[in-house]
Amino acid sequence: MTNVQAEVKVVDLYINGEYVKSSNRETFEVKNPATQEIIARVSEATREDVDKACRAARRAFEEGPWRTMPLAERCAKIRRMAEIIIERKEEIARLEALDVGKPYPVAVEREIPRGAHNLKFFADFMEKQGGEVYPMEDEYLNYTRYEPVGVAALITPWNAPFMLTTWKLGPCLASGNTAVIKPAEMTPLSVSLLGEIAKEAGIPDGVVNIVHGFGETAGAALTTHMDVDLISFTGETTTGKTIMKSGADSLKRVSFELGGKAANIIFEDANLDKAIPVSIQAAFLNSGQVCLAGSRILVQRSIFAEFVDRFKKAASELKVGDPQDVATNMGPLVSEEHYNKVTSYLDIAKNENSVLVYGGKRPELPGYLQLGYYLEPTIYIQENPKARIAQEEIFGPIVTLIPFDTEEEALEIANDTEYGLNGVVWTDNLQRAHRISHNVRAGTIWVNCWFVRDLRAPFGGFKKSGIGREGGHHSMEFFTEAKNICVALK
């Protein structure tokens, strides 16, 4: 068993190429959610610190070499960041396991390499971009340039801090913008390293800045700052609403990736040998703290009993434990507050007459994990798709199984939600797969698979799951201003 915590780490702000303390020397503590031990003291950005970071980013944008640097040179530096991340992936993954409680294997095999890929992908992508050309007979020629917008605020949540921050930083930097990053207060460790990684890769000072702190203080100072031109935010839908209001006075451009409550629809002709293990992942990866989680499983009634038995057995085989242990499938929830929120749904489920199939309590764990925020993988059956556990984003290891009879009914239940981030469908009927994909109102539909990502594809949500799209040219459009140049040829 590994317990990597050795000493309490010191995490500072990264402003204009240097790690610095906050102006009033205040810090906040970060805990290991597996043990409740204090693992870090983090400099808490004041309004003045956020102002310094934004002004550094503005100067680096206006005066520095970044925006005007040849594209190939800029992209080479971003690719170098990606290489350094791969060189340091074990260290970064350990940190992600430490403050998020994410199982180390998930971090080291999946999310940190994806973080590196996020940067490399957008460096490669930007180098291949051309523009539009519109000749007007022989008299005029129009051509388009894509120029950076300015200073971007990149605000990210705690569930996949490194991966989600680099997903924004890649297109932001490759387009020639500068950035002020604000990671979630509970999980600043891995993102904090992006300062030194940027420096080592030769990114000029001021291009990447990192401020730590709470949403209402550091976050609000950032989203109202006059030097910030655009905000790329991933987090809760309610926070998105607040940020939209904060950015309104200065007309900031926004891109929002918000919550989800995906339907994972299993038809009677589905290959259950594939559907069950993938649905287990979709429900319990990162303890269900995944925006794309398949947290409502709609199962055709003719196979419902078989599905429940097999799904329950597969859930019982998940190993819940120390996130640093390579054998662990499921770690703790991220914090006491989140644990209280998630476990409040156990009572809600009971009051709604949901049938508990599996879990619903703290797992038996070794002594040193006794204070961890653990919950067993938990499965309910609920006939009523309007029940709160079938409607609200729980963001924990609680999944609701809902039986249905017909395709029409499945579609109606799938769409009966305020969210629309993604959906999943399992069927061997090609026509039905397309019909369902066209009619579920969500930004991504996975057919006979889940969480397969091609970074060229649009990614984002319908309804309350977001505004705008990220990925490929969608990210590029967000992070650039299109300029048309019209030249008289005569």
Ligand X SMILES: O=C(O)/C=C/C=C(\O)C(=O)O
Q: Would you please indicate which residues are annotated as catalytic (active-site) residues?
A: 257
Burial of 88 (0-12, 13-18, 19+ CB in 10 A): middle
Binding piece for ligand X, criterion CB under 6 A, among 80-88, 287-295, 380-388, 423-431: 287-295
Per CB under 6 A, 392 contacts ligand NAI: no
Per CB under 6 A, 468 contacts ligand NAI: no
Q: Which partner in ligand NAI, ligand X, none is near 453 (CB below 5 to 8 A by kind)?
A: ligand X
Site for ligand NAI in 228-267 (CB under 6 A): 234-236, 239, 242-243, 257-260
Q: Which is nearer to ligand X, 161 or 206 (CB)?
A: 161
Site for ligand NAI in 286-305 (CB under 6 A): 291
Per CB under 6 A, 155 contacts ligand NAI: yes
Per CB under 6 A, 171 contacts ligand NAI: no
Strands 378-381 and 355-358: antiparallel
- Strands (E) in 96-246, as ranges, are 133-136, 140-148, 151-155, 178-182, 208-210, 230-234
Shortest approach of ligand NAI to residue 244 CB, angstroms?
A: 10
359 within 8 A of 378, measured Cβ to Cβ: yes
Site for ligand X in 442-481 (CB under 6 A): 453, 459
Query: How far are the Cα atoms of 57, 64, 160, 199, 200 from residue 206, in angstroms, in the given order?
Result: 5, 8, 25, 10, 14
Q: Which of 160, 349, 440, 442 binds ligand X (CB under 6 A)?
A: 160
Q: Which is nearer to ligand X, 52 or 102 (CB)?
A: 102
Q: Which of 54, 85, 116, 184 binds ligand NAI (CB under 6 A)?
A: 184
Max CA separation in the chain (angstroms): 83
Binding piece for ligand NAI, criterion CB under 6 A, among 26-34, 179-187, 425-433, 471-479: 179-187
**Minimal CB distance to ligand NAI: which residue?**
215
Q: Which is nearer to ligand X, 150 or 331 (CB)?
A: 331
Per CB under 6 A, 34 contacts ligand X: no
Q: Which partner in ligand NAI, ligand X, none is near 32 (CB below 5 to 8 A by kind)?
A: none
323 within 8 A of 369, measured Cβ to Cβ: no
Q: Chain-centre distance of CA 419, in angstroms?
A: 16
Runs of H (alpha helix) within 16-140: 47-62, 71-87, 89-100, 104-106, 112-127
Which run of H or of E encompasses 313?
A: helix 304-316
Provide CB contacts within 8 A for 324, sequence distance 6+.
1, 2, 3, 4, 34, 94, 97, 98, 104
Identify the CA nearest to 15 among candidates 200, 226, 199, 261.
199
Give the amino acid at 156.
T
Shortest approach of ligand NAI to residue 147 CB, angstroms?
A: 27
Q: Which partner in ligand NAI, ligand X, none is near 235 (CB below 5 to 8 A by kind)?
A: ligand NAI
Q: What are phi and psi of 72, to 5 degrees?
A: -60, -40
Instruction: Please give the residue ranges that form the binding site for ligand NAI (CB under 6 A).
Output: 155-159, 164, 182-185, 214-216, 219-220, 223, 234-236, 239, 242-243, 257-260, 291, 393, 395, 421, 461, 466
